[in-house]
Structure 1
Amino acid sequence: MAIKRGVSLYSYQNETFQGKMDLEDCIRTSARLGAKGIEIIGEQSFWGWPEVGVEDAAIENWHRLIDKYDCTPVSHDFMLDYKRYKGRMMPHDEQVASVRKDIDFGARLGMKYIRALVSIDPQVLVDAAPYAEDKAIVILVEVHAPLHFDHPWIVRHAEAFEKSRSDALGFLPDLGMFLHAFPPVWKEKFLRIGVPQKIADYVEQAYADRVLSEYVILNVREMGGEGPAIAMAETLRHNSAFEPKRMLDYMPRIHNVHGKFYQMTEDCVEPSIPYDEIVKVLRQGGYDGYICSEYEGNRWIEDAEEPDSVEQVRRQQVMLARLLGEAETPALKAA
């Protein structure tokens, strides 16, 4: 089976919170691009979640829209932040109960998967797995920069999952961990907020040369950098060019992919993430799930211009369709 295209509605966060796009707009726009897999963050698409329950009418409307635009529910991305729960650490049993609540919500939405933040202790997910199995849900830990598939914390999750022998536990790679070049929109933002051109050029080249982040930060300080310049150098602590081929060893438990991107050029190219190589690796591993667009370039440009998330997602979907060898690509003009 072929790799499929989808969209995380998180991509439209600016338009959603500004009231320019509602849930139907988000689903319709994605469907028109041929991206029929729909992924959500509950807090964005269902107001009040998880603090208050979601009424049946809202769930019914969700299914009506999914049917209307011939889409498929893919994943509910839940945000359990147990370290900051009402000013205290959430006990283990409460964490498991919270995950079960999100399993129930995902099941109501017809999702096959729910996304877990990587900070969650693997034992919490192992203990929630039997409940997920009963609900036909798979819990996917998002492998997100600065973590990667060789990081000890991810290895610990993998070992716990294998020991559990549960098929309800897996991984969701965020393609931002394969950042092979410093994103142009990042550099442009740092220049706008006062980073000297010489320092910005140095940080960009240091990233390309894979210089250790601590050395880059030190060198920027010695160049007279402060404030925004140090912040630009600090981005190297949290991003790196990990190898896509490392996904191969984990492929049996990879069921969804976040198509992270920061910028799509007019030629429909992501200049900082090697999507051609990534798609090749996914195919080699027999992956047949969704790549869901996840646009996060908005926060890097909104001080200078109004983000056009729809156009950015459209361009990425054109790129994905081409890389996947589809006979037709999404329209060259946004609907």
Structure 2
Amino acid sequence: MTYDIKRGVSLYSFQNDTFLGRMNLEDCIRTCAEMGATGIEIIGEQTFWGWPEVGVAPEKIAEWHALMAKYGTTPVCHDFMLDYKRYKGQPMPFAEQVASVKKDIEFGALLGMKFIRSLVSVDPEVLVAAAPFAEEKGIKILLEVHAPLHFDHPWILRHAEAYEKAGTDALGFLPDMGVFLYRYPRVWKERFIRNGVPREAADFIEAGFNDRRLAEYVVNDVMLKWGPGPQMGMVETLRHNAAFSPKRMLDFMPRIHNIHAKFYEMTEDLVEFSIPYDEVFAVLKQGGYKGHICSEYEGNRWVEDAQEVESVEQVRRQQLMFCNLLGETMPQTLVA
């Protein structure tokens, strides 16, 4: 059986390689195409120098479209930022927030994107006000549902209610799979140990997360047993991550149009250590999801102090997992 779920990659996955000059834009797009992951998602600030402060030169936009045509890839989503709380020392005025979102809508349309990603902190009223312009440009604004928030969080429900009340199809959601963290990531634990957390404390914190203990109790126990120190940084992660159910996406599926396939560690047997992607894909299939699922590798920051970051290999493994879960024939470039 075939599904309408399409494979893609957020170029955010290659941030170490691009920052260090090991990969340029064409390298990133070619790598994705070779994996059969033809949907391309970007963060404008990472991919296009000067965005949004000074704009992007027309020749860079032309290069983008030329690369899309050369490698048979599809622009999917531009992840925009709206840092309205750090604007000239005070919150950005409402009208300027809306104008900023409109600027990113225009940029996304210029790149041929169908979606732009909004940070979860943006007020629903801002996105509702920008929605008519998004409709004009053929763009949907997708709020990222990102840990520690989840689909039953009051803030997400407030957004959902505002979208329905506005009566627009230009507003939706982009779930980040990090909200379904079923096991404490191994790469997190080892990084915290390298940062000075006693292994006994790290084992205790990991067990607390995996046993679904109330985070506040684990925080208190760690303070009592080990006192202040780096272990408090590790245990704080329990307040911001949890094992929510992928089934909660079903009620929101009509407004879900793109997905961040967050991952921290793909093992050699093609399993993400912490996130149950078999359950995730079962829910997506059940809900009739028809958009892209884009690899978003964030394990780099947890291993870069101890080893070479292997972003391409990690993305390759996740894309192979996607093929397995979708029943797709694996591209030879992925298997080799």
TM-score range, shorter chain: over 0.9
CA distance in 2, matches of 1:43, 1:18: 16
Aligned residue in 1 for 2:133: 131
Aligned residue in 1 for 2:114: 112
Aligned residue in 2 for 1:87: 89
Aligned residue in 2 for 1:210: 212
Aligned residue in 1 for 2:26: 24
Is the 1:318–1:330 contact (alpha carbons within 8 Å) kept by the matching residues of 2? no
TM-score by length of 2: 0.98
Aligned residue in 1 for 2:226: 224
Is the 2:115–2:140 contact (alpha carbons within 8 Å) kept by the matching residues of 1? yes
Quote the offset at 1:330 in angstroms: 5.6
Equivalent positions of 1:133-152 (< 5 A) are: 133-152=135-154
Quote the offset at 1:153 in angstroms: 0.2
Aligned residue in 1 for 2:294: 292
Quote the offset at 1:226 in angstroms: 2.6
Aligned residue in 1 for 2:43: 41
Q: Tell me the secondary structure at the aligned position of residue 75 of structure 2.
A: strand
Aligned residue in 1 for 2:306: 304
Q: Which of these residues, 274, 277, 281, is aligned with residue 275 of structure 1?
A: 277
Q: Partner letter of residue 300 of structure 2?
A: N
Quote the offset at 1:318 in angstroms: 0.5
Quote the offset at 1:68 in angstroms: 0.3
Quote the offset at 1:327 in angstroms: 2.0
CA distance in 1, matches of 2:152, 2:117: 20
Higher alpha-carbon deviation: 134-143 or 194-203: 194-203
Aligned residue in 1 for 2:317: 315
Q: Which runs of 4+ in 1 moved over 3 A?
A: 329-334
* Residues 55-90 of structure 1: per-residue CA shift (max 9 Å, x gap): 111100000000000000000000111111122210
CA distance in 2, matches of 1:157, 1:293: 25
Quote the offset at 1:306 in angstroms: 1.4
CA distance in 2, matches of 1:328, 1:23: 24
Quote the offset at 1:328 in angstroms: 2.2
CA distance in 2, matches of 1:202, 1:169: 42
Q: Which of these residues, 69, 72, 84, is aligned with residue 71 of structure 2?
A: 69
Q: Which of these residues, 58, 61, 79, is aligned with residue 59 of structure 1?
A: 61
CA distance in 1, matches of 2:325, 2:247: 17
Q: Partner letter of residue 289 of structure 2?
A: Y
* Residues 156-190 of structure 1: per-residue CA shift (max 9 Å, x gap): 00000000010000000000000000000011111
Is the 2:34–2:334 contact (alpha carbons within 8 Å) kept by the matching residues of 1? no
Aligned residue in 1 for 2:164: 162
CA distance in 1, matches of 2:165, 2:296: 32
Question: Gaps (5+ residues) in structure 1?
Answer: none
Aligned residue in 1 for 2:7: 5
Aligned residue in 2 for 1:122: 124
Quote the offset at 1:331 in angstroms: 3.5
TM-score by length of 1: 0.98
Q: Tell me the secondary structure at the aligned position of residue 226 of structure 2.
A: coil
CA distance in 2, matches of 1:26, 1:86: 35
CA distance in 2, matches of 1:271, 1:301: 15
- Aligned residue pairs, count: 334
Q: Does 1:234 align with 2:227?
A: no
**Alpha-carbon distance change, 245 to 46 in structure 1, aligned in 2, over 3 angstroms:** same
Q: Tell me the secondary structure at the aligned position of residue 157 of structure 2.
A: helix
Share of identical aligned residues, percent? 68
Q: Tell me the secondary structure at the aligned position of residue 27 of structure 2.
A: helix
CA distance in 1, matches of 2:332, 2:81: 32
CA distance in 2, matches of 1:43, 1:98: 14
Q: Which of these residues, 181, 196, 199, is aligned with residue 198 of structure 2?
A: 196
Quote the offset at 1:263 in angstroms: 0.5
Is the 1:115–1:172 contact (alpha carbons within 8 Å) kept by the matching residues of 2? yes
